[in-house]
């Protein structure tokens, strides 16, 4: 797993429809998997007994840093195809079991110039490697034409964690947000209908606002939920159970105050005709908590409850959400929203900084919804496998069940 420490270290129902038409609830819940160690029977078990309806395959290679421009573009394509060849049987099995497929690309040509400090992919300092990357995306879209045609490719995540140190010399290469347009255009030239996921640098949700306006249909915005990274990585680079569990209120406020700003920006862009729809389709491409973290099951429950918006209690006929009743008058909810006294004393005309029930929310908070979330990871490192336990010495043991898995099974059963 490549996790960078830079940020705080659709079936339609009668009311709720696709995200471009209404404020959709979570529709897909699943895992990133270590496909190499899983059998077809394991994938069937994951779906039948642990209720997934989406599986994420991470496309990467242990030797990617060894491949250079001198090896030639075909060597890079061969490396990508070799990884995909090893996945194809499992992709078909996961699909047959009833899952949508997410393909996440974490195999930039040339690998990384550095993984420490501020990680930096070599292609962001080499225009030739960027050309390889763009053609690779088009190649993969063509390769999976049948999966796309069956409607079972949920998304092609074109760069799982874009790593660009903007302080480095580009040598004429594009930055990520310019390269993103090139990759989207190349993919759509091959197949106009391919669903594409885009992420900000490092998958960092605080940078969602940096993604430029994308006036394309079928774009999914992704990020990785590591907003409490030090706690989530307890035991990986710290002593087991050494970091206190974040309170539920902090998890909720940190998530919604951040994402509501992105939703407000997207709404402004939609009104200006810069993006095709509102709200944006939003996905957590990865979240996790270490087996060595205190009260990790409770933490997972708190995070997933926020992603599911369990705090929203009512749905109008139009499919829009009303907020949790934060204040009542004569037995009825008092609406918080566009400024004024009820938007918070410091809210101004738009109530943007109003403390709605102490949440620090903007007027777009109740719009915040996720279409899917993915948990890292099943059958990869024991730190992150929900079946693993950790003792006081940090020793990890893989078993049949844990409190974390019970929580995840409970939430994923909502898929049924």
pLDDT tens for 58-95 read 999 999 999 999 999 999 999 999 999 999 999 999 99
Residue appearing with tokens 């990384």 = 112
Among residues 95, 113, 170, 104, the alpha carbon closest in space to that of 137 is found at 104
Per-residue pLDDT for 351 more than 70? no
Q: What is the DSSP string of 3-46?
A: ----S------SS---TTTS-PPP-EEEEEE-GGG--HHHHHHH
Please give the average per-residue pLDDT across 349-365, as a whole number. 45
Per-residue pLDDT for 385 more than 90? yes
Rounded CA-CA distance 207/322 in Å is 27
Q: How many residues are given for the chain?
A: 416
Rounded CA-CA distance 251/224 in Å is 14
Query: Buried b vs exposed e over 248-269: b needs ≥16 C-beta within 10 Å?
Result: eeebbbbbbbbbbbbbbbbbeb
What the block records as the tokens of 295 is: 């009260």
140 vs 14 pLDDT, higher one = 140
Q: Is 395 exposed, middle or buried (0-12, 13-18, 19+ CB in 10 A)?
A: exposed
Which of the four pLDDT bands, split at 50, 70 and 90, describes residue 24? low
Rounded CA-CA distance 113/124 in Å is 10
Count the neighbouring beta carbons within 10 Å of the beta carbon of residue 375: 26
What the block records as the tokens of 13 is: 């129902």
Rounded CA-CA distance 292/295 in Å is 9
Per-residue pLDDT for 154 more than 60? yes
| Angle of the 296-307 helix axis to the 403-412 helix axis, nearest 10 | 20
- pLDDT tens readout for residues 185-242: 999 999 999 999 999 999 999 999 999 999 999 999 999 999 999 999 999 989 999 9
pLDDT the model gives residue 362:
55
| pTM (2 d.p.) | 0.85
Rounded CA-CA distance 251/274 in Å is 31
What the block records as the tokens of 66 is: 């060894």
Which of the four pLDDT bands, split at 50, 70 and 90, describes residue 25? confident
Among residues 179, 162, 191, the alpha carbon closest in space to that of 104 is found at 162
Contact yes or no for 202/214 (Cβ under 8 A): no
Per-residue pLDDT for 101 more than 50? yes
Rounded CA-CA distance 73/59 in Å is 17
Which residues neighbour 82 within 8 Å (Cβ) at sequence distance 6 or greater?
61
What the block records as the tokens of 50 is: 């642990």
Rounded CA-CA distance 4/229 in Å is 10
Per-residue pLDDT for 44 more than 90? yes
Rounded CA-CA distance 36/56 in Å is 13
Please give the average per-residue pLDDT across 3-15, as a whole number. 38
3-state secondary structure of 376: strand
Q: What value does the CA radius of gyration of the chain take, rounded to a whole number of Å?
A: 21
Distance of CA 161 to the CA centre of its chain: 10
Rounded CA-CA distance 195/212 in Å is 18
- pLDDT tens readout for residues 114-131: 999 999 999 999 999 999
Per-residue pLDDT for 12 more than 70? no
- Domains in the chain: ranges and CATH: 28-309+368-415 (3.20.20.80)
pLDDT the model gives residue 416:
82
What average pLDDT does the structure give for the chain?
A: 87
What the block records as the tokens of 270 is: 């939609």
CA dihedral 393, 396, 397, 401 (to 10 degrees): 110
Among residues 230, 280, 222, the alpha carbon closest in space to that of 250 is found at 230
CA atoms within 13 A on the CB side of 167: 3
Q: What is the DSSP string of 289-346?
A: --TTSTTHHHHHHHHHHHHTTTT--EE-TTS-EE-----EETTEEPP--SSSGGG-TT
pLDDT the model gives residue 144:
99
What the block records as the tokens of 72 is: 């030639």
pLDDT the model gives residue 363:
67
pLDDT the model gives residue 11:
35
| Angle of the 403-412 helix axis to the 40-50 helix axis, nearest 10 | 80
For the chain, the straight-line distance linking the first and the last C-alpha, in angstroms and rounded, comes to: 29
- pLDDT tens readout for residues 311-347: 885 433 334 444 444 433 444 444 433 333 333 333 3
């Amino acid at each position: 797993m490549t996790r960078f420490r830079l940020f705080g270290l659709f079936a339609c129902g009668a009311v709720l429809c696709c995200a471009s038409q209404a404020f959709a609830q979570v529709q897909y819940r699943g895992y990133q998997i270590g496909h190499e160690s899983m059998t077809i029977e394991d994938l069937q078990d994951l779906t039948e007994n642990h209720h997934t309806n989406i599986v994420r395959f991470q496309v990467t290679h242990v030797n990617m840093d060894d491949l250079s421009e001198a090896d030639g573009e075909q060597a890079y394509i061969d490396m990508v195809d070799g990884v995909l060849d090893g996945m194809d049987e499992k992709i078909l099995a996961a699909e047959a079991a009833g899952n949508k497929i997410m393909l996440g690309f974490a195999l930039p040509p040339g690998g990384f110039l550095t993984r420490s400090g501020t990680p930096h992919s070599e292609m962001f300092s080499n225009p030739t490697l960027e050309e390889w990357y763009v053609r690779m995306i088009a190649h993969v879209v063509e390769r999976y034409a049948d999966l796309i045609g069956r409607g079972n490719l949920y998304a092609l995540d074109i760069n799982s964690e874009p790593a660009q140190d903007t302080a480095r010399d580009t040598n004429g290469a594009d930055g990520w947000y310019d390269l993103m347009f090139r990759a989207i255009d190349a993919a759509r030239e091959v197949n106009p209908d391919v669903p594409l996921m885009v992420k900000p640098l490092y998958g960092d949700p605080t940078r969602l606002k940096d993604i430029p306006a994308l006036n394309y249909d079928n774009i999914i915005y992704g990020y990785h939920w590591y907003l409490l990274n030090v706690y989530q990585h307890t035991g990986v680079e710290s002593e087991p159970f050494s970091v206190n569990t974040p309170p539920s209120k902090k998890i909720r406020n940190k998530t919604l105050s951040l994402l509501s700003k992105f939703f407000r920006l997207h709404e402004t862009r939609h009104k200006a005709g810069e993006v095709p729809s509102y709200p944006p389709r939003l996905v957590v491409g990865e979240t996790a908590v270490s087996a060595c973290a205190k009260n990790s099951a409770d933490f997972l429950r708190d995070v997933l409850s926020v992603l599911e918006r369990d705090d929203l209690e009512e749905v109008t006929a139009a499919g829009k959400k009303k907020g949790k009743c934060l204040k009542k008058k004569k037995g009825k909810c008092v609406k918080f929203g566009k400024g004024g006294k009820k938007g918070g004393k410091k809210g101004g005309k738009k109530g943007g900084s109003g403390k709605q029930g102490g949440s620090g929310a903007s007027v777009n908070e109740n719009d915040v919804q996720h279409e899917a979330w993915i948990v890292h990871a099943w059958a990869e490192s024991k730190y992150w496998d929900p079946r693993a336990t950790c003792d006081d010495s940090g020793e990890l043991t893989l078993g049949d069940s844990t409190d974390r898995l019970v929580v995840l099974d409970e939430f994923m059963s909502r898929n049924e």
